């Protein structure tokens, strides 16, 4: 049987692969996305929170202004194309645990760069709260499951989606052939944490960061446009469902639930005044695909120039994916340089 020419084959349809497939199809390329939902995948488990100020020092996240511009444009285009709401502006109310944290935030607020982002909120959630709540403005919630559903439907309608597990033994890297397809542009691996089993990228310093999350239902209408960040984050999904999580287990790729962690989340939920009369309906895990230097990795394989990677989105897939996809598309289609901080070349390869 004769081979069929296509431009790009993408392996793995989490947020990285799905946005990439969409962007390439929109650029007029013929694309096939091979995707299987494998236990441990990150995107459908994610909360879709985009937080501009993170860490113990309350600093703006890496390249915030640039990332912000790119993800707002990207998701706004998707909202228009798919006629749905994907990105919501929200505020995050974060509990502070010490006078040092309060002072750190107060000094940040004096910095002009932070004035629109941070303020103290004097309302008390618990009677004996000692410190004000930190209100982080200009945050967002991405409806990542709706986004994936919309892109999969779009690709399916174009005959561009294969729901199956990509098997490396079906792939000829020298001639870029997969099954009946001869791939003219390139093959992109966007497999999330499963890249650690990929024979082409064994030399990259990946790190799997497992996290548990719980979904709760509550009959009470509590809040739908704010996120509370205590020991765990409480994130509204809709009027009666909340996402609670998460923990960080470094270098753990096991997909088993950790009973102690599930119990810790259960205790948190049962004893939390913000979540009265709520029931846990699901607890599960996802594995964040991270790099040891905490930056994404984008670019092509040193020996097989038309085998590409987009990975290492870590804890921030919702804000990083549009930027990484945009960089990769410009690189593949126009030969433009990839931002050196996310370029695969930064790793010593051989
Ligand atoms: C508990 C938790 C909470 C999180 N919360 C947030 C948050 O609030 N905000 C945020 O920005 N980020 C969050 N993240 C991080 C975010 O989920 C990741 O950064 C992002 O989803 C990574 O996307 P990805 O496409 O690279 O990987 P994945 O989402 O893992 O996608 C890769 C996909 O490829 C598929 N695949 C792999 N191998 C194959 C194969 N051989 N054949 C076919 N298909 C294959 C997998 O099944 C998977 O679906 C969270 C992660 C976790 C675990």
Ligand 1 pocket mutation, candidates 34, 42, 149, criterion most atoms within 8 A of CB? 42
Q: Are strands 118-121 and 133-142 parallel, antiparallel or unpaired?
A: antiparallel
Q: Whose structure tokens read 């236990």?
A: 39
Distance (angstroms) between ligand 1 centre and the Cα of 51 equals: 18
Distance (angstroms) between ligand 1 centre and the Cα of 40 equals: 8
Ligand 1 pocket mutation, candidates 192, 199, 297, criterion most atoms within 8 A of CB? 192
Q: Whose structure tokens read 């998460």?
A: 246
Could you list the pLDDT tens digit for every one of the 350 residues in the chain?
689 999 999 999 999 999 999 999 999 999 999 999 999 999 999 999 999 999 989 999 999 999 999 999 999 999 999 999 999 999 999 999 899 999 999 999 999 999 999 999 987 677 777 889 999 999 999 999 999 999 999 999 999 999 999 999 999 999 999 999 999 999 999 999 999 999 999 999 999 999 999 999 988 766 777 899 999 999 999 888 999 999 999 999 999 999 999 999 999 999 987 888 899 999 999 999 999 999 999 999 999 999 999 999 999 999 999 999 999 999 999 999 999 999 999 997 65
How do the domains of the chain map onto residue ranges? 4-47+145-205+292-346, 54-140, 207-288
Smallest CA-to-CA distance from 174 within 304, 271, 76 is with: 304
Query: Which residue has the least CA distance to atom 1 on ligand 1?
Result: 211
Looking at ligand 1, which atom is closest to the CA of residue 318?
A: 11
What is the reported pTM?
0.97
Ligand 1 pocket mutation, candidates 170, 194, 237, 290, criterion most atoms within 8 A of CB? 194
Looking at ligand 1, which atom is closest to the CA of residue 168?
A: 41
Distance (angstroms) between ligand 1 centre and the Cα of 316 equals: 10
Distance (angstroms) between ligand 1 centre and the Cα of 309 equals: 14
Looking at ligand 1, which atom is closest to the CA of residue 16?
A: 25
Beta bridge partners of 289: 208
Q: Which two tokens stand for residue 264?
A: 């810790």
Q: Do domains 4-47+145-205+292-346 and 207-288 have the same CATH topology?
A: no
**CATH code of domain 4-47+145-205+292-346:** 3.50.50.60
Which CATH superfamily, name and number, covers 207-288?
D-Amino Acid Oxidase, subunit A, domain 2 (3.30.9.10)
> Is the C-beta atom of 38 inside 6 A of ligand 1?
yes
């Amino acid at each position: 049987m004769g081979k069929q020419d296509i431009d790009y084959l993408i392996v793995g349809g989490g947020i990285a692969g799905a946005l990439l497939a969409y962007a390439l199809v929109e650029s007029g390329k013929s694309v096939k996305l091979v995707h299987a939902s494998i236990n441990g995948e990150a995107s459908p488990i994610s909360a879709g929170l985009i937080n501009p100020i993170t860490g113990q020092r309350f600093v703006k996240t890496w390249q915030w202004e640039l990332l912000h511009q790119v993800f707002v444009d990207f998701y706004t285009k998707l909202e228009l194309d798919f006629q749905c709401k994907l990105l919501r502006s929200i505020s995050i109310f974060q509990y502070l645990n010490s006078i040092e944290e309060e002072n750190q935030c107060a000094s940040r607020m004096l910095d002009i760069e932070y004035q629109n982002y941070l303020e103290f909120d004097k309302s008390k959630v618990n009677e004996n709260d000692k410190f004000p709540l930190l209100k982080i403005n200009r945050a967002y919630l991405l409806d990542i499951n709706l986004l994936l559903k919309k892109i999969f439907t779009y690709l399916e309608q174009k005959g561009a989606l294969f729901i199956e597990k990509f098997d490396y033994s079906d792939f000829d890297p020298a001639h870029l052939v997969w099954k009946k397809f001869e791939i003219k542009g390139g093959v992109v691996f966007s497999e999330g944490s499963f890249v650690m089993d990929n024979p082409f990228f064994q030399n990259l310093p990946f790190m799997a960061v497992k996290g548990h999350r719980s979904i709760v239902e509550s009959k009470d209408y509590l809040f739908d446009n704010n996120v509370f960040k205590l020991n765990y984050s409480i994130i509204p999904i809709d009027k009666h469902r909340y996402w609670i999580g998460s923990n960080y287990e470094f270098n753990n790729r096991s997909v088993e639930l950790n009973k102690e962690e599930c119990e810790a989340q259960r205790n948190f939920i049962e004893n939390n005044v913000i979540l009265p009369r709520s029931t846990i309906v699901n607890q599960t895990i996802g594995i964040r695909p991270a790099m040891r230097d905490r930056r994404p990795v984008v670019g092509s394989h040193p020996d097989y120039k038309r085998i590409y990677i987009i990975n290492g989105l870590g804890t921030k897939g919702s804000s990083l994916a549009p930027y990484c996809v945009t960089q990769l598309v410009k690189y593949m289609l126009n030969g433009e340089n990839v931002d050196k901080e996310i370029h695969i070349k930064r790793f010593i390869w051989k």
